[in-house]
Chains A and B, each alone.
Chain A
Amino acid sequence: MIAIVGLLIGAIIGLVLEPEVPAALQPYLPIAVVAALDALFGGLRALLDGTFDDRVFIVSFLSNVVVAAVIVFLGDQLGVGTQLSTAVVVVLGIRIFSNAAAIRRHLFRA
Chain B
Amino acid sequence: MSHRQPGAPDGAPRPDGRPPERAADASMGLLNEVMYRPVALGGARSAGPLPEGGRGSARRTVVHALLSVLLGLLTVTAILSLRAPAAAVDEGRALLIDQITERTASRDALDASRRALTQEVAALQDELLRGSDPALAAELRASELLSGALPVGGPGLVVRLDDGPDAEEDPDTRVQDVDVKMVVNALWAAGAEAMAVNGERLTSLTTVRTAGETIWVNFVPLVPPYRIEAIGDPATLQTRFARSAAAGSLVSLESTYGITATVTAQDDLALPAGSGRRLRYATSPVDVTSSDETPMQEGAS
Q: Enumerate chain A interface residues (CB-CB to B < 8 A).
A: 2-15, 18-21, 26, 29-30, 32-33, 36, 42-43, 45-46, 49, 51-65, 67-68, 91, 94-95, 98-99, 101-102, 105
Contacts and interface: CB of A to CB of B under 8 A. Distances in A.
Contact of B80 (A9, A14, A60, A67): A14
Given A15-B76, A32-B78, A63-B2, A98 B35 contact: yes
B280 to A, nearest CB: 47
B291 interface: no
B78 A56 contact: no
Interface stretch (B66-74, B119-127, B202-210): B66-74
10 contacts: A10-B73, A10-B74, A13-B69, A14-B73, A21-B81, A30-B78, A36-B71, A42-B41, A53-B41, A98-B35
Interface stretch (B42-50, B187-195, B281-289): B42-50
The 8 closest A-B pairs by CB, nearest first: A10-B72, A6-B68, A14-B76, A7-B72, A10-B73, A95-B38, A46-B41, A10-B69
A32 B75 contact: yes
B263 to A, nearest CB: 55
B39 interface: yes
Contacts of A61: 68, 71
Interface size class of chain B, counting residues whose CB lies under 8 Å from the partner chain: 35 or more
B107 interface: no
Interface in B155-203: none
A70 to B, nearest CB: 10
A21 B77 contact: yes
Contacts of B11: 49, 51
B78 A58 contact: no
A110 B45 CA distance: 26
Contacts of B110: none
Contact of A2 (B34, B44, B61, B82): B61
A53 B41 CA distance: 8
Contact of B68 (A2, A45, A46): A2
A43 B1 CA distance: 13
Per DSSP, chain A at the interface is helix
B66 A14 contact: no
A33 B60 contact: no
A82 B34 CA distance: 21
Contact of B1 (A2, A53, A67): A67
Contacts of A95: 34, 38-39
Given A7-B69, A60-B44, A94-B34, A26 B75 contact: no
